[in-house]
Structure 1
Amino acid sequence: MKRIQYDSYGGPETMKLEAFELRAPGTGEVAVKVKFAAINPIDWKVRNGSLKMLTGKTFPRAMGSDFSGIVTAVGPGVTRFKIGDPVFGMAQIRNGGALGEAVTAPQTFVARKPDSVSFEDAACLATPGVTAWNGLLDKAALKSGKQVFVNGCTGAVGEVSVQLARMLGATVAGTCGAQAMRRARDLGVQPLFDYRATDLSKIRERFDVVYDTAGTMAVAAGLALLRQGGAYLDINPTPAKFVRAVFNRRLKPIVCIARADILDGLAAAAGNGKLRLPIAETVRLNDAIPLIAALETGRRLAGKALVAM
C-alpha cells in the first residue's frame, strides 16, 4: 500500500508517495480501504508544522484528513461499524493518513455513507461539515428565524454553513467572489456581497451570527455586524483570540472537533439531498502531490479537489 507522507515538517518539497504498512485498529478504531480522499488546507498546515504542538515529532508522518471507503477491520469495542460497511469520515489530526490507500480512524470520527450519496461526494463532507457544525450549532446554538452572515459563503466550510443554516430555518447573507455569485444565489444566499468590492463597515443590516469561514475578517469588523447577543465565529483561531474571547463572549474561535453525532447528522443531511459540495477536480494518488502543492501555493478551484485511490 502507498500513501503521501513526509520525514520532516516543511514545504511541499517534503511530500513523498511511499509504501507503508497500515497499523491494526486499536480500541474504538476502524481500518478503512480508502476510495477517495479530499484535500483540505489543514493537510498542509499540519505538514508545515503549524500544529506541531499537537502532532509531535515522530516521523514519517502521513498526510490527509477526509476520506470515504470501506471498513476492512474493526478494533475492540467498536459498535458503530462492521467489516464491509461503506463509510466516510476524518483521520485524527495527530495521525493523518487519508491521502493513502488505507487509513485507521476512531469510530467516532466516521459515519456510515448513505446509499444515495456517492463515495466522491461523501469524501468531501467531514472537515468542512464538522467545522460548520461546531460553529453554528455548538457555539452559536443557531435556531429557526435567526439571521446569519457567512463570509466566504462559497468556500467548502462556507457552503456547508449556508446549507446547515437554511436547514435550521435561518436566513443567510454573505460574501463571495464575483465569479461565484451565481452559485451563492443558487444556495439561497441573499443579500450577497462581492468581497473585493464591499466595505463591510458600510453594511447596515445586523445579524444574529457572523461566521468568517474565509478567515479574512478583522475581529472588530465581525463584531460590528452583530445584533445584541449575537455570536461572531472565527475560523482562524489564535492564542490571542482565545484570550480576547474570555473578555468578549460574542467572539467564538472555532476549532474543528469531530463527534459521532455530528458525522451522523452530516450523513443524514447528505442522504436527504440537503447537503452537497461541488467537486472541481479529481486526480489519481500518483498525481496528487503536484495538485496539493498547487493549491497550497494559491491555485483556486470552484469546488473540492479529490484524490482517487
Structure 2
Amino acid sequence: MKKVIYKQFGDESVLELVDQAIPSIQKDQLLIRVKAVSVNPLDWKVYGGEMKLMSGSGFPKSVGIDFSGIVEQTGSATTRFTPGNAVIGLLDVFKGGALADYVVVKESNVALKPANISFEQAAALPVTGLSALQIIDQLAAVGPNQDVLINGATGGIGVFAVQIAKKRGASVTAVVSTKGVDEAAKWGADTVSDYTKQSINVLSQRFDAVIDLSTKLSFTEAKSLMKPSAVYVSTLPSPLTLAYSFINNLFSGRKSKVLILKSTVEGLNALTHLAEDGLQIVLDKSYSINNVREAYQEARRGKGIGKSVIVLD
C-alpha cells in the first residue's frame, strides 16, 4: 500500500510516498480502506518539528489525522462495525498515519459516515468539527444571548464554530478576509468584519468569548475586546501558552484557555448528527496523494476557505 512518511523534521520536501505492507489488526481494532484525508495545520506543525515534546523525535513518522473510508476487516472483540461500513475517524493527533491506503484504528475513534455527505466532506469533519464543538461547548461554554468573536472564521474550525455558536443561541461576529465576507454571512454570522479594511483592535463591541483561530491574536491583544469575565480561546497548545494560561487564570477574571483536541465517541456521534441535520461542510481543494507536497504547500499559505482534502483510490 502507499503511505506518506517523513524521516526528519522540515518543510513539505521531507514528505515521502512509500510502499508498505498492509497492516494487521488486533482483536480490538478495525482495518479501514481510506477514501480521503483532510489537511490540518497541526500536520505541518508536527512534521515541521514544532511539536517535538508531544510527537517525540523518533523516525520515520507518519502524516494525516482524520479520514473517511470503508471498514475492510474487524477484530474479534469489536462490536459496532461490520465490513463494508462507510466511516469517519481520526488517529492520534501527534502521530498521524491517515495518509495511507489503509489505517488501523480502535472503534472508539470511528463513527458511521452520514449518508448525506461525500467521502471528501466526511474526511473534513472529525478534527475541525470536534475542535469547534470542544471550543464552543466546553472551553468557551457558549450559551444563549452571549456575544462571541471568532477571529479566522473561514478556516476549517471557523466554518463549524460559527454554525455551532449560532445553534447555541449566541450572537456571532466573524473576522475574515474580503473573500470570506459573504461566506461567513451564509453560515449565520450576525456581524462580519473584514480585517483587510478594519483592524480588529478598533471594534467597539465587547465579547463574552474571543476565539482566535488565526493564531495571530494574542491573549494580551484580545483583552481589550473582552468583557470582565470573558474567555479567550487559542488553538496553539504550546507548553509556554499552557503555562501562561494556567498562571493567568489563577488571578484574572478574563480567562485564557487552550484547545487540546480530545476524541470521544460522543463527540463523533454529535458531529454526524449535525451533518445529518445540514451542517455546512466547506471544501477548498482536493488533491491526489501523489500531490501531497503541493497540498500542504498551498494549505500553509492560508488563502483558502474551508478544508482541503487528499483523495485516495
Say whether the fold is shared (TM-score over 0.5).
Answer: yes
1:267 — aligned with what? 272
Superposed displacement of residue 175, structure 1 = 0.4
2:287 — aligned with what? 283
Superposed displacement of residue 293, structure 1 = 2.8
Alignment pair present for 1:293 and 2:297: yes
Distance 2:96 2:75 in 1: 18
Alignment pair present for 1:189 and 2:186: no
Distance 1:56 1:237 in 2: 15
SS of alignment partner, residue 83 of structure 1: coil
Q: Give CA-to-partner distance per residue, 1:2-57, whole Å, 9 cap, x none.
A: 01111222221111111112332346432210111111111121112222222223
Q: Give CA-to-partner distance per residue, 1:68-105, whole Å, 9 cap, x none.
A: 01111233543332222111121113431211211122
SS of alignment partner, residue 115 of structure 2: coil
SS of alignment partner, residue 185 of structure 1: helix
Aligned pair in 2 of structure 1 residues 224, 279: CA closer, same or farther (>3 Å)?
same
Query: 1:83-162 to 2 correspondence within 5 Å?
Result: 83-162=83-162
2:227 — aligned with what? 227
Between 1:121-130 and 1:5-14, the stretch displaced more is 5-14
**2:259 pairs with one of 254, 279, 282:** 254
Percent identical across equivalent pairs?
28
Distance 1:212 1:56 in 2: 27
Distance 2:27 2:239 in 1: 33
Distance 1:218 1:54 in 2: 22
Distance 1:133 1:175 in 2: 19
Distance 1:87 1:183 in 2: 28
Question: Aligned partner of 2:225: which letter?
Answer: L
> TM-score, structure 1 length as denominator?
0.93
2:203 — aligned with what? 203
- Aligned residues: CA RMSD: 1.8
Which consecutive residues of structure 2, in runs of 5 or more, have no partner in the other structure?
250-254
SS of alignment partner, residue 24 of structure 1: coil
1:32 — aligned with what? 32
Distance 1:238 1:96 in 2: 18
Which consecutive residues of structure 1, in runs of 5 or more, have no partner in the other structure?
none
Q: How many residues align?
A: 307
Distance 1:228 1:30 in 2: 48
Contact 1:145 1:171 in 2 (8 A): yes
